[in-house]
Amino acid sequence: MEQHEKFFNCPHCGTIISVLLDLSIPNQEYTEDCEVCCRPIEIRYEVGVDGEIDFEGGRS
């Protein structure tokens, strides 16, 4: 299982947080709570055929 750590700002509190993306699953959408403010973040990502990761972390 290939993983990639993605750093981004929480859309609620603005704190820089990270999530581990499982790149063996090319398209994924799930909700994860911010480790600082505990509010829900909707995580979406897609891995292209060239390996490029299209990532979005927004308010849930």
Q: How many CB atoms sit inside 10 A of residue 28's CB? A: 13
Tell me the residue type at 60.
Answer: S
Res 27 pLDDT > 90? yes
What does the pLDDT look like over 45-59, one tens digit per residue?
A: 999 999 899 999 999
Output the pLDDT for position 48.
94
| Domain edges within the chain | 3-59
Q: Is 47 exposed, middle or buried (0-12, 13-18, 19+ CB in 10 A)?
A: buried
60 band by pLDDT with thresholds 50, 70 and 90: confident
pLDDT digits (tens, 9 = 90+) for 1-25: 799 999 999 999 999 999 999 999 9
Q: Which residues make beta-bridge pairs with 42?
A: 31, 58
Global pTM reads 0.86
